[in-house]
Structure 1
């Protein structure tokens, strides 16, 4: 269990003049404003804070008037849903009016603006994401002390009725596993109510856009150890709905081997460990699709470590070796990584010019392939003269 003793949070993300200027602009016009969500959660956990999101009782037009009166820039990035981006000292801060859902369809919500912190908290997804802090850092848990207890226990739990929260937005199924992977305690298991609700409402995943699914899956696979969450996702049926045919058994061995190899999280390598060979409607970028295809080419090539390094480069060779070992449930030979690195540093000493004029056209390509294979088999020891002399003897 993580010890949560602080009733205040702090750090440059909150105390910096650029951030305090936004709070002050709203306060000067009589509006309360709070840091909300991930920034408060992470600060309490001692984790890095990347973004400061602000919730306020001010309506969007009141936010614009308040910050402009203070000399700050307001950009209506999501005014219809209550969000104004306020630019202070060159940094953008999302300031969103307290909201309550009026109507949801599993993908989008129609909201009304609210004046109460509790109502704003109740429309959020998980108890650990509905924590607030005043500008001075004082933490507020609008839904009760159980929020901080959940955070201390690293327990990811839906707010209120889990099935109702999911029906509001089916992406919350994937967010549940993502947050469980990043912030949950795998030894404590997963919230039974959440898993039951996910199993009951999983069909709604098919209503989500592929872009949203792909983005969430990449965030999930970027967690330090997403294997327990992916296992629970498979058992609930959610994995099969978003990645048909995917299997999670090789993921835990891969993550163990990543640690041995000193390699950090790599979502595409982990996606391959699930058996995904091509973009299965995750809307991967062209570069990501090319990388995934090239990775599988390396895995399937049958080439040894040195040849992998030479043909595919050090990084792809390492990933291919990791995937092969994970699939077999075998340890990774440290020498294999060294051989891949050595291979990646080699340069074939023969060129087409060396084979002219004796050979032309397709004959040159065939001869080069033969010599390259012989050179690789020699452990890259044969030099240009030895290779050409051998070829001319034939």
Structure 2
């Protein structure tokens, strides 16, 4: 930033990093905006010794690498045409014009190298008050990019004040434009929904998403009515969006949200494990999976979480099945041997992991495996 200042150009930190800094929240990506045209920005950064990557020159963005950290620098822009997903832009020298093309007032915050916040649109007060407000006319902002419908709910979940509820004009605009979400890729939809569910308490925003028909458009069959209870029960644990998604359900999650194979398998397994004892889940799938299942089970059954849950799951996950194939030979051979081992393992789990290899071998030879099966 000092380098750009020295060449007489405006340059600001912009967007999420400024918003989170004023809210004392953790920062992730640090983006910058400048009045320098892309080619000039490349010249300045190169002259200062930074590695330059022409990330998106047509959109005014270059990437400067400093100490192996990448920083995007984007020229001030204003939109001249949009199609609901992509915008045609022209470059500008006016920071306010750049602010006007952003989505929410709290994201239109800029900060100079001396730490002074530039707030062209009143976003600082909105950020501090927990108001997620579209810039200007919400209908216009949404028509510029329909993904902003989902971003409205995500930012409300993360930054909105629950006591205020959702901004009514924004909510109405999202509901009115919900059917246009089919123009957005399912990968982007899935990413936004998972980010929303990763908030500390996404229940109010998700309930509003369902009431406004937005959730039904992107994930038919999903139901958020039990989500507040799950959020209450899992408040002592790190938020897990897949746990919450497994609870609200929906049709063909993998296809509608473009989930990975691993994510889809975990959700299907969670939803099919409601009747499985928790120690068995911990032993077979690990503590975290069993914890997720326990929280979903407690939500569905409307029961509290046991104070000893963590200890029970940790103990179960650490167990090692003592019986080996050699312990049962030659009494059992081939496919029958594998089946007896499977039944014996289930029996060992049900009896609290207490039986020794000898106990289990005797049980199998005495017909226990056959009787249990």
* Superposed pair shares fold, TM > 0.5: yes
Q: Indicate whether 1:285 and 2:265 are aligned.
A: no
Judge conservation of contact 1:278–1:293 (CA < 8 Å) in 2: no
Judge conservation of contact 1:84–1:95 (CA < 8 Å) in 2: yes
Give a deviation string over 1:91-110, Cα, whole Å, max 9, x none: 21110000011111111111
Count of matched residue pairs: 366
2:240 to 266, 277, 292: 266
Structure 2 counterpart of 1:350: 323
Give the RMSD, CA atoms, in angstroms.
1.5
Aligned pair in 2 of structure 1 residues 373, 91: CA closer, same or farther (>3 Å)? closer
Please list every run of at least 4 consecutive aligned residues from structure 1 whose deviation after the TM superposition is greater than 4 angstroms: none
Judge conservation of contact 1:36–1:131 (CA < 8 Å) in 2: yes
Distance in 1 between the 2:339 and 2:69 partners?
58
Judge conservation of contact 1:305–1:337 (CA < 8 Å) in 2: no
**Superposition deviation, residue 219 in structure 1:** 1.3
Where do 5+ consecutive residues of structure 2 fail to align? 368-373
Judge conservation of contact 1:298–1:316 (CA < 8 Å) in 2: no
SS in 2 for 1:75: strand
Structure 2 counterpart of 1:84: 62
SS in 2 for 1:387: helix
Judge conservation of contact 1:125–1:158 (CA < 8 Å) in 2: yes
SS in 1 for 2:331: coil
Q: Indicate whether 1:387 and 2:360 are aligned.
A: yes
Structure 2 counterpart of 1:360: 333
Judge conservation of contact 2:253–2:259 (CA < 8 Å) in 1: no
**Superposition deviation, residue 340 in structure 1:** 2.5
Q: Indicate whether 1:67 and 2:45 are aligned.
A: yes
Distance in 2 between the 1:103 and 1:164 partners?
12
Structure 1 counterpart of 2:211: 235
Give a deviation string over 1:327-355, Cα, whole Å, max 9, x none: 22221122344323222121111122222
**Superposition deviation, residue 228 in structure 1:** 1.0
Give a deviation string over 1:176-206, Cα, whole Å, max 9, x none: 1111111110111111100110111111111
Structure 2 counterpart of 1:310: 283
2:134 to 142, 147, 158: 158
Aligned pair in 2 of structure 1 residues 147, 374: CA closer, same or farther (>3 Å)? closer
Structure 1 counterpart of 2:83: 105
> How does the TM-score come out when normalised to structure 1?
0.89
2:201 to 182, 203, 225: 225
Structure 2 counterpart of 1:55: 33
Aligned pair in 2 of structure 1 residues 112, 305: CA closer, same or farther (>3 Å)? same
> How does the TM-score come out when normalised to structure 2?
0.94
1:19-38 mapped onto 2 (5 Å cutoff): 23-38=1-16
Give a deviation string over 1:243-302, Cα, whole Å, max 9, x none: 11111112111111112xx32011111111111474142122232223223323433xx2
Distance in 1 between the 2:291 and 2:361 partners?
32
Judge conservation of contact 1:33–1:56 (CA < 8 Å) in 2: yes
Aligned pair in 2 of structure 1 residues 89, 342: CA closer, same or farther (>3 Å)? closer
Structure 1 counterpart of 2:187: 211
Structure 1 counterpart of 2:371: none
Distance in 2 between the 1:346 and 1:381 partners?
10
Distance in 1 between the 2:343 and 2:69 partners?
58
Give a deviation string over 1:94-143, Cα, whole Å, max 9, x none: 10000011111111111111111111000000000001111111111112
**Superposition deviation, residue 303 in structure 1:** 2.0
Judge conservation of contact 1:305–1:336 (CA < 8 Å) in 2: no
Distance in 1 between the 2:269 and 2:116 partners?
50
Q: Indicate whether 1:250 and 2:223 are aligned.
A: no
